[in-house]
A and B are shown apart, each in its own frame.
Chain A
Amino acid sequence: MKPPAWAHFVLWAVAGENEAEFVAGDLHEEFLLLCAAEGRSTGSRWYVRQVLRSAATLLGLRFRSGEAAHLVAAALVAVAMPLLLLDRLWSFVYSHIPLKDGLERAPGFWAANVVCVCVCASMCGSLAQSLPRAAGVAVASAAGAACALWCGAAPAPLVYAGLVILAAPASSMAVYAWRRSR
């Protein structure tokens, strides 16, 4: 019997490398006891509640150890900065084309941004040595992408924004999983 996968992922994403394995093991042990005593749905509810109520404390612990600061820095350098630089670059390019300044960007530019973000996030994910770090990089890269979109010169189309915010964590996790499987 396994706890809800999404709650399990949240736990690995918020807990630091030093704690994630032990906290997950403790919760798993108690989850199994609860499932045997009161049924799976009670066990799952209890697990989700524990993860959500512990998230801020575990994240605080991760910040205190300095690990979270590294993740945030990695996400900013690997995802937010390239996105912002590309945004400025496209603005510059458009400003030099007569009658194009102020117009909506071509889909090709948005596609280039998505590819660039995927490559950068993948590199970031490939450096992660453990699942908590990879999950942390994934969450931080999604947040970094969202920040970069928010700070962009022009409002981004909704589809593009959603794609970037999803593609950044997905590619970093995919590369981490691929490296682990090898």
Chain B
Amino acid sequence: MAKGDALGEFEYLVMLAVLRLGTNAYGMRVRQEIAARTGRDVTIGAVYATLERLAEKGLLTAALSDPTPERGGRAKRSFTLTGAGMEAANRARQDLASMLEGLQFPLAGGSQ
């Protein structure tokens, strides 16, 4: 696997949020999902930059929807995982699981 193919931590979070949201995965929902589950104050710019990067890598695919009044008459771009995206998410999960194997959590000395 090339160095650029590995998912960064935030990229992984965004991909998981897209997976969780299913057909309703667009910028605002992804931002809210990450904020609600991790407690991070994520900006819409960071979410869009990551979604764009993942789409460029071929891990996500985007689809446009019609403009709606609650969006000020603007269109929405929803994202879904591609086959390569599923594969990358599986691989990241596997890597994390193998790194965590044998370690005891919470770690002594940590705050949580």
Residues of A with Cβ closer than 8 Å to B? 2, 18-19, 21-30, 32, 50, 53-58, 60-61
The CA of A55 and the CA of B77, in the complex, are separated in Å by: 20
Complex contact B44–A27 (CB within 8 A): yes
Main secondary structure on chain B at its contact with chain A?
helix
Complex contact A53–B45 (CB within 8 A): yes
Residues of B within 8 A of A32 (CB): 70
The CA of A162 and the CA of B25, in the complex, are separated in Å by: 45
CB-based nearest B residue for A59: B45
Q: From residue A28, how far is it (CB to closest CB) to chain B in Å?
A: 4
Residues of A within 8 A of B67 (CB): 25
The CA of A55 and the CA of B46, in the complex, are separated in Å by: 10
Complex contact A57–B74 (CB within 8 A): no
Residues of B with Cβ closer than 8 Å to A? 26-28, 31-32, 43-46, 48-49, 52, 67, 70-72, 74-77
The 5 lowest CB-CB distance pairs between A and B, nearest first, are A54-B45, A25-B74, A57-B45, A25-B71, A26-B28
**Do A60 and B44 contact each other (CB < 8 Å), given the known contacts A24-B72, A26-B27, A32-B70?**
no
Complex contact A58–B48 (CB within 8 A): yes
Complex contact A57–B46 (CB within 8 A): yes
Most interface-central of A18, A22, A50 (chain B CB within 10 A): A22
CB-based nearest B residue for A57: B45
Residues of A within 8 A of B26 (CB): 22, 26
CB-based nearest B residue for A21: B74
Complex contact B71–A29 (CB within 8 A): yes
**Do A22 and B74 contact each other (CB < 8 Å), given the known contacts A29-B28, A30-B28, A61-B52?**
yes
Complex contact B49–A61 (CB within 8 A): yes
